[in-house]
Structure 1
Amino acid sequence: MFVQLKTGYSTDLGPAWISRVRFSKSWRTAYWHGKTLRRARGYDANFYDVDTDEGYWLSGPRRDRADTRYSQLRPEVDDDVRLAYEAFLLGSPLPGRENG
């Protein structure tokens, strides 16, 4: 997943990551880097940290690397997903999405 911190930064300038994110069955809660993120209905953030109230944007990564809307920011890629992400950029499906 593409994850970007929105709180405290101008549009699309917060730090970003390509990371493994685990979701609850309802997809209302995400678990990432030891944080619990709940779905939000805001404009700039679609999840918020339940402990700090910081807003985050979570979305699937893009092959063209245009993950942010208005900047050329490149996300930090977590080591445990690096190989899968590099294969995805070359055309392979994301893990778990091999059949669609």
Structure 2
Amino acid sequence: MPERIMFVQLKTGHNTDRGPAWISRVRFSKSWQTAYWHGHTLRRGQGMADANFYNVETHEEYWLSGPHRDRADVRYSNVRPQIDDDVREVYEAFLGGAPLPGRHHG
């Protein structure tokens, strides 16, 4: 199962780009249509205003993307993501210029 270090932000219930966010390890199905994160199953969705995945149980909407080296992961706020302990070392190396695992160009 493919696995990536991703920026994840909860969109449901929060103003634009103001929901809690994480830098986390996310596993993806072979088709990349389903993501598994923090015990949640997220499915890729269409037609959502500010999200690209939704929780299959709660229907909460999330934005998942690769983290930005300049930490500009949100567009309209200054929310900083919580960095999961198990990815902290790799993420900090990425911020310093190293590629992320599974991504040859960063």
Aligned AA (1:24): S
Equivalent residue in structure 2 for 1:64, among 51, 70, 76:
70
Residue 30 of structure 2 is aligned to residue 25 of structure 1: yes
Task: Give the number of aligned pairs.
Answer: 100
State the shift of 1:98 in Å: 3.2
TM-score, reference length from structure 2: 0.91
Q: For the aligned residues, what is the CA RMSD?
A: 1.1
1:86 corresponding residue in structure 2? 92
1:34-66 CA-to-partner distances (Å, cap 9, x unmatched) read 000000111201000000000000000000000
Equivalent residue in structure 2 for 1:7, among 4, 12, 20:
12
Gaps (5+ residues) in structure 1?
none
Q: Which runs of 4+ in 1 moved over 2 A?
A: none
Q: Distance in 2 between matches of 1:34 and 1:96?
A: 22
Residue 44 of structure 2 is aligned to residue 39 of structure 1: yes
1:61 aligns to what SS in structure 2? coil
Q: Distance in 2 between matches of 1:2 and 1:17?
A: 6
1:66-88 CA-to-partner distances (Å, cap 9, x unmatched) read 00011111000000000000000
1:97 aligns to what SS in structure 2? coil
